[in-house]
Structure 1
Amino acid sequence: MKFLRPALLGLLSLAYPPLVYLGLGHFEPRWMALPLAGMAVVRAVATRERVWLAAAVGALALAASSMLGNHALPLKLYPVLVNTVLLAVFATSLAYPPSVIERLARLREPELPASGVTYTRRVTQVWCGFFVLNGGIALFTAIGASDETWALYNGLISYVLMGVLFAVEWVVRQQVRARHVHG
C-alpha cells in the first residue's frame, strides 16, 4: 500500500498526455481538468515535501484555470510544470549538496569517492540542462503546436529522450568507473 500511491501517480503522469489528447476529442477541457485535479490532490496528500506540495498546488491552479475558462492550454502546461519542478529539485541540490544524483549513487555505494561526487554533480547538471530543454519544448508544443504534436512530444518523444539520456549516462558511468579502478 505504501508504494501504491506513488506508482499510481507515476503511471498517471506518464499516461497524462495521451489521456488528455484522447479525452479532448470527447470532452470539454473543464471535464478533462478533473483527473489533473485528482492527481494534484493525491500528490498533496501523499507527500510532506514542500516542493511536491508546490507542484500539487501548481497542478491544482492549472486544473482550476482549465475548469473556469474551459480552455485546454492549462491542461497542456502540466508537462512544463513537471519539468520546472524537477529542474528546481535538481538545481537546488547543486546549491545545497549532496546533489540528487549523488544521493541516488550513495544508495548503492555509501562510500562514494571524491571522483564519484564530482561525477554525480556533473550528471545532475546535465539533468538540469535536460529539464530546461525538455520544459522549453513542452512549452512550445503547448502554445504553438497542434494537439497531436503536443501529445506525441510530451507523451512519447520526451520519454524516449529521457531513456536515451539514462542509457548514455550509464555507458559513460561504466567508462568512468573503469578508468578510476584501473587508473
Structure 2
Amino acid sequence: MRWALVLALTAAYPLIVYFSLGHVEPRYLALLLLVLGGLRWLAGGAQVVQARWVALAALLLAASTALLNTSVPLKLYPVLVNAVLLIVFGLSLVRGPSAAERIARLQEPDLDARGVAYTRRVTQAWCGFFVLNGGIALVTALWASEEAWALYNGLISYVLIGTLMGGEWLLRRHLRARHARLQA
C-alpha cells in the first residue's frame, strides 16, 4: 500500500510542482519532498538500503529548497530517481543476478542460460535509458523553462518508459516464438 502511494506521488510529482510554482513558494513545496522521502524511508521494501538512500537524498533536496527558497532542488528529484535506478541496475550487472533477471524469475524461476543472457541485455538497455533520461531531466531542471521541465518529466519520460517496456515485451514474444519455431 505504501509503495503504491510512493509510486503515485512520484509519478504525479512533476505536475504537482509545475502547477504549484507561482502560487506557492518553493520552500513550502519542499514539504512534498519531505513526504516522499518519509514514505520511501518507511516503505523500504526488498531494497531497504536503496530506498533509504533515495529518502535521504530527497530530504537533502527538500532542505536545500527550504533554505534557498528556489525551485531548482525540487526539479532535481527526477534526476535523483534516475540516478538511483541506474546505480541499482548497474550494480546488479556487476554483482548479479541482473535486475531484469530477478524480475523474470518471479514468473519463470527456472530461467535457462539464454534467458539469463537476454535479461542481462535488458538490464543494460535500462541502464542506458536511465543515463539518457536522467541527463535530459538534469538539462530540463537546470536550463529549460518550468513548462518544458514539467512536460518532459511529467509526460514524455513516462511515454518513453512505456515505449521501452512495451518494445521489450514485443521483442521477447518475437524471440520466444522464433526459438519455438527453431526447436520444432
Which residue in the other structure is 2:155 paired with?
156
- Cα distance in 2 for partners of 1:171, 1:17 equals 29
- AA partner of residue 42 (structure 2): V
1:180 shift after superposition: 2.0
Match of 2:36 among 11, 16, 39: 39
- Cα distance in 1 for partners of 2:180, 2:109 equals 17
1:25 shift after superposition: 2.1
The answer to whether 1:17 aligns with 2:40 is no
Which residue in the other structure is 1:84 paired with?
83
**CA deviation digits over 1:101-149, x for unaligned, max 9?**
0011111111111100000000000000000000000000000100000
Q: Percent identity?
A: 58
- TM-score w.r.t. structure 2 length? 0.96
1:46 shift after superposition: 1.8
Which residue in the other structure is 1:99 paired with?
98
Which residue in the other structure is 2:139 paired with?
140
Matched residue pairs, number?
Answer: 180
1:182 shift after superposition: 2.2
**CA deviation digits over 1:21-56, x for unaligned, max 9?**
111121000001101111101111221611110010
- Cα distance in 2 for partners of 1:79, 1:56 equals 13
Which residue in the other structure is 2:172 paired with?
173
5+ unaligned residues in a row in structure 1: which ranges? Answer: none
- AA partner of residue 29 (structure 1): P
Write the mapping of 1:48-127 to structure 2, written as runs, cut at 5 A: 49-127=48-126
1:88 shift after superposition: 0.5
- Cα distance in 2 for partners of 1:55, 1:161 equals 22
Root-mean-square deviation (CA), in Å? 0.8
